[in-house]
Amino acid sequence: MSFEVWAPRARRVRLALDDHVLAMEATAGGWWAADTGPVPDGTRYGYLLDDDETPVPDPRSRRQPDGVHGLSATFDASAHPWGDGAWTGRQLAGATIYELHVGTFTPEGTLDAVASRLDHLKELGVGFVELMPVNAFNGVHNWGYDGVLWSAVHEPYGGPAAYQRLVDACHRAGIGVIQDVVHNHLGPSGNHLPRFGPYLKDGRNTWGDLVNLDGEGSAEVRRYIIDSALMWLRDLHVDGLRLDAVHALSDESDVHLLEELAVEVAALSAHQNRPLTLIAESDLNDTRMVIPREAGGHGLDAQWSDDFHHAVHVALTGETSGYYADFAPLGALAKVLDRGFFHDGTWSSFRQRNHGRPVDTDRMPAWRLVVCAQNHDQIGNRARGDRTAEHLDDERLLCAALLTLASPFTPMLFQGEEWAASTPFAFFTSHPEPELATATAEGRLAEFERMGWDPDQVLDPQDPATFERSRLDWSELSGGRHARVLEGYRRLATLRRELPELTDPGFGTTTLDEAEGRLTLDRGTVALHLNLGERDWEVPAVEVLFSTSERIAPGRGDRPVVVLPGNGLLVRTSPAA
């Protein structure tokens, strides 16, 4: 077996292999190599840099059995007996995404335990499971965005072998897997990369030091990122990647990292003869992310539209603090439904500048925008991690579901949303270093002070109870409001499968009576009606497909007149007289 590592900053590199230390030979471009012959799978190893006597992990480690400061372990990805030979992949268009956190989705908090719940997701009509980051981080539980070894699966979740078992099980259940990956920064604990080479450059973004994407030595750093991305797709059979906060990627290269990644993923997709999807989380409100490379874009498949979440949240809850302020009129929701973004060159009071660019709704399919009424950020970045189920009645929760699942966009659900879970989803960490734990807690308080939140409401992310309270309670599904909301989600999922109008790629047409609090989204032969006003609203001559609650009056033939007393309604409109 050949061990290779890029370490241009080292004068000497030695391989620590079990109880042996072997000299490595310098090769071209700052690489070092050692040929050891065959080694058993799971063999511990690390690298000794210069005169150090304590080995550090392999930057390209696939497995960290003893944490991010411990030795790496060899992992043979080809050893798994894949059972997904009949899996030909899934297109994003028309699919529903389900976002989950491995550590809190089940009581066990493991990848194998996620696999045991796939029947529930099938009943919801889920097309893709999107896993929050699972790469190796320091500590036991964490959201995953503090990872430092981008190709290793967090060992307490089950490691890479359990990850393969989950992907295999998903594919046999007809569900694709999207992995959330972070390339815009490295976590604050366990990052040994700068000792090897110029992985970082001067400057910082919101979360840490900038990754070196365009400076001296950046070609190998970019290769490191792209090889990691291809590893998830090729060796672990993942179907897509959600690229975290791409607006924080600092890259002035002639070819942006995102475009280079899109090119290589497209080549792998062609070779494997299955769709491979790249989804950007972008705060830029700029569809250059998904515009084809031939037209000057980066060529990704889809991107998030946070504006959809903000507009839905404000319309249903009335909350207008912080970045929600601009979304106060119901017209904000109407604009998002019609045009994809609310801020498309308009003034953002939260940012104190104009923000975004218009969406070319005549040419871009609406499914390229991924939308949600809840996600990990919008819940977990609240002071208490409180869900909308704590503040809304069942009718308004189902209105949120109706807007998400019947909109023209690609809908994404967040774990537990579908049954109005009473458990919060808080921001939690388990940093072993006391100084890092203190800095994290103080940083949260400062962040919420800017948002105007009561500091007494901010949970301590290091408190183990903050994590434990965030675990889903699966016993809730069987009764009360949880069962009613779940039945509503399942019914909407069935309609998405049965009605081609709900997966049509075109944008709809929205009409609005803001004074009365009424909105209609026309999608051809199907229309979504939303009544948030105080007065009843008569919708004549329709076939009711889904309603949060309705009163039906005599109509024409088999098409009743429906009176909306403040709810949401999905109908098939009557043919022209």
> Among residues 573, 572, 566, 508, which one has the least CA distance to residue 545?
572
Per-residue b/e over 265-299, b at no fewer than 16 CB within 10 Å? beeebeeeebbbbbbbbbeebbbbbbbeeeeebbb
Of the residues 244, 301, 501, 550, which is catalytic? 244
Residue 498 burial (10 A CB sphere; 0-12, 13-18, 19+): exposed
- Is 473 assigned a catalytic role? no
Structural contact between residues 99 and 108, judged by C-beta atoms closer than 8 angstroms: no
- Is 286 assigned a catalytic role? no
Residue 216 CB coordination number (10 Å)? 9
Rounded to 10 degrees, the C-alpha dihedral 189/190/194/197 comes to -160
Tokens read off for 324: 């929600």
Q: Which residues are annotated as a binding site?
A: 242-247, 306-310, 376-381
Structural contact between residues 199 and 180, judged by C-beta atoms closer than 8 angstroms: no
Of the residues 130, 180, 214, 281, which is catalytic? 281
The Cα 426–Cα 457 span in angstroms is 12
Between helix 306-317 and helix 330-339 the angle, nearest 10°, is 150
> Among residues 90, 89, 94, 88, which one has the least CA distance to residue 368?
94
Task: Give me Rg for the CA atoms of the chain.
Answer: 25
Tokens read off for 215: 């400076």
Strand partners, 531: 518
Rounded to 10 degrees, the C-alpha dihedral 15/16/19/25 comes to 10
Q: Which residues are annotated as a binding site for substrate?
A: 242-247, 306-310, 376-381
In the sheet that holds 568-573, the strands lie side by side as 509-513, 518-522, 526-531, 568-573, 542-547
Q: Give the residue numbers marked as catalytic.
A: 244, 281
